[in-house]
Amino acid sequence: MKRQLDADGYDVTDDTGRGNRLPVVVVGIASAVVITVSAGLVAFTMSQPRESEHTARAADATVFTALGRTVTGGPEAVTAVLPTTTAALDGSLPAPAGLAAGAKDQIPARVLDSYRKAESTLASESPACKLPWWLLAGVGKVESDHAAGGKVDDAGTTTVRIVGPRLDGTVVGGTIVRDTDKGALDGDLSFDRGVGPMLLLPKTWQNIGRDGNGDSRPDVSNVDDATLAVGTLLCSADSDLTTPEGLAKGLVKFDDTPTFASEVLPWAMHYRSGAPTAAASSTGSAAPSTTSEGSTPATTDESTPTTTASPTPNPTPTQAGPGFTTQDPSTPPSTTPPAVPARPAPPVTPTPGRTPVPPRQTPTRTAPPPVQTPTRTAPPPAQTPTRTTPPPIQTPTRTATQAPTRTTAPPPVHTPTRTPDRPSTPTPDRTTRTPDRTTASTPAVAVVTPDAGPNARVDDRQTSTPRAERTENSSRAERRERARDRRERNDRADRTERAERRGNDADGPDVASDLRR
């Protein structure tokens, strides 16, 4: 309040400042309301379920099935699995194949503890998921029969190496997956294999691996770690797993084939419907284990199986899933494929009205008896005939004869007749008669026997020149003579024609006629 004095010096009260205190009060009240509302919003936000970083990482991870197929988990896969999940939740799904009616399958105590721990951890991290332990138990049964029948130690690590089929392209429904871990997890330096209680490929574990037993070391062969990783992957679908559609979305995140859902859900419903007695692990009864990643200890209710001191024999169901085998973990990595149990072939259902055809029996082929090769006998050596030297031929005395003189008559000259009414002289006939000539053949040389006397008869057969040679020499001589005659006739005809042409050009046809004469 502002102090004022009157004329006498006394204080005078000023009431004009009272109206200025109202805005201050309003501002104070408004500030209190804002603070209250902000605090309420923060509390509401903190109370809402939040997606953990592990779930977000699993949602974006690339996952592969135990047979090497890449999981897509699209709407088509959800639609294909939805009828199976609906039948499972409404209780109309049949019992697992190979399990006797009324029998109860047992879960090893240490493995069951891992399923319950994963359920509790994910209830805190992803409460909207509502992951049930019996769903993880169904997956563990199909993949490795609960860690090969509970072969785990107190820390949850398997005492044997559990591996799936070798993905070298020979497995039905599988693909080829080359080695990605240098044999560190699966013990194979050539191809990858599913490893651990959940049969996770090394590259899948690299994307979704988690630490479930609190040792700060994710291990694919540890049942706590592997179970928590698979549960996180099922919850990464951001759906309620207690509804048919949400359950379908969760299953296709792990394996998007309809076969996987039809194999897992019968076992999951079997564990859900009753309280199977938990069998002791192969290493003894289950020991208490610590929780990890801020999870709360699992509580036991009426639906939780209890642990008994003495195990009860397990029924032997039909093998489902991709199949697995166990190895000594100390065995060094090898490139040779170990024996993998083959999956049984599905039964053949005959078509009504058709008679099934029996399988063809391959006849046994009998090897034919060996063929005996006959012994070859060498032929006797050929005898070379003795050549007889013929007697020397006596050369007869050749008597020369005088060749006759050949007379050739000159060819006649043809005089053409001049035609008055034609300006030019017709071309004379160039055809000339071939003169008759006598061609003497080469006389034969007669051989006269010296002692026959002067009147001895000449024998042509005893001539020194063979008859064929004489005939050939005569024919060559005749051909040469005829060729020479043809050349001479052609030369004369050419000279005559040239003279006629010159005569016609210079003096007329009379000159040419005179030349021809």
Contact 191, 169 (CB under 8 A): no
- Predicted confidence at residue 113, as pLDDT, reads 96
CB 269 within 8 A of CB 262: no
| Buried b / exposed e along 370-391 (16+ C-beta atoms within 10 A) | eeeeeeeeeeeeeeeeeeeeee
Pairing mode, strands 161-163 and 11-13: unpaired
135-144 residues labelled b (16+ CB within 10 A) or e (exposed): bbbbbbbbbb
pLDDT of residue 466: 64
Residue 72 is predicted with a pLDDT of 92
Q: 307 pairs with which residues across the strands?
A: 278
170: left (phi over 0), alpha (psi -120 to 50) or beta: alpha
What pLDDT shows up at residue 43? 61
DSSP string, 123-169: HHH-TTT---HHHHHHHHHHHHHHHHHH-B-TTSBBSSEEE----BS
- Per-residue confidence of the chain (517 residues) as pLDDT tens digits? 566 667 776 666 655 555 455 566 677 788 888 888 777 775 654 544 455 799 999 999 999 999 999 999 899 999 999 999 999 999 999 989 878 777 888 899 999 999 999 999 999 999 999 999 999 999 999 999 999 999 999 999 999 999 999 999 999 989 999 999 999 999 999 999 999 999 999 999 999 999 999 999 999 999 999 999 999 999 999 999 999 999 999 999 999 999 999 999 999 999 998 756 566 554 433 333 333 343 333 333 334 443 333 333 333 344 567 889 999 888 877 666 544 445 555 555 554 555 555 555 655 666 666 666 655 656 555 565 556 555 555 555 454 444 444 444 445 545 444 544 444 444 444 444 444 444 444 444 444 444 444 454 544 444 455 676 777 788 888 999 999 999 999 999 999 999 888 877 665 555 555 555 5
CA 192 to each of CA 44, 277, 320: distance values in angstroms, whole numbers, following the listed order: 48, 36, 21
| pLDDT at res. 194 | 96
Summary count for the chain: helices (H), strands (E)? 11, 4
Give the pLDDT confidence score for residue 310 in this predicted structure. Answer: 35
The pLDDT of residue 37 is: 79
| Cβ(245)–Cβ(74) below 8 Å | no
Yes or no: say if 77 and 252 are a contact pair by the CB < 8 Å rule: yes
Q: How far apart are CA 385 and CA 154, in angstroms?
A: 106
3-state SS of 161-185? Answer: EEECCCCECCCCCCCECECCCCCCC
Judge residue 29's burial from the number of C-beta atoms within 10 Å of its C-beta, 0-12 exposed, 13-18 middle, 19 or more buried.
Answer: exposed
* Phi, psi for residue 281 in degrees, rounded to 5: -70, 165
Measured CA to CA, the distance from residue 136 to residue 304 in angstroms comes to 14
